Amino acid sequence: MQRVAGYCPMGCGQTLFLGRGHITCSLLDCPNPGAVDELLAHDETEHILVTDGLGFTIQHPLRERIKGELFGCDIHARVQEANPRDPGRYRVIVHQTDPVSDSYRPGDAGLEFHPIEEAA
């Protein structure tokens, strides 16, 4: 059993180890010993938007947690401007502002919404 630096995301403390190629929590009472493995298995790197056409929820990419950018993320405010009206799940592609005017086209909010097909 090889110890892994870091903390179990389930709140168990510094209890991680590497065994058979997987990072696992060693605490017997851990509610999800494979949580780190599950987090690392996700390949999504963009914001995910789920909307019912009226309201919405956003899943932020893990990189925002690593860089400490989560609290400074302006995606929520920008989606309020440009929320897709069709209910569904979308990958949000963020565009940089125009370097000359430091803005986007009117009504654009600098976002693209790409529908994500639900797994059958």
pLDDT tens for residues 2-39? Answer: 999 999 999 999 999 999 999 999 999 999 999 999 99
> What 3-state class would DSSP assign to 80?
helix
Q: Which two tokens stand for residue 25?
A: 């929590």
Whole-model pTM?
0.76
Residue 99 has pLDDT above 70, yes or no: no
Helix ranges (H only) for 1-120 are: 35-41, 62-66, 75-82
Tens of pLDDT, residue by residue over 61-91, are: 998 888 888 888 888 888 888 777 789 999 9
Give dist(CA 101, CA 27) in Å, integer: 54
| 104 has pLDDT over 70 | no
* Nearest partner of 113 among 74, 73, 82, judged by Cα: 82
**Rounded distance, CA 43 to CA 88, Å?**
20
- pLDDT band of 101, cuts 50, 70, 90: low
How would residue 107 be classed by pLDDT, with cut points 50, 70 and 90?
Answer: low
State both tokens at 61.
């990419």
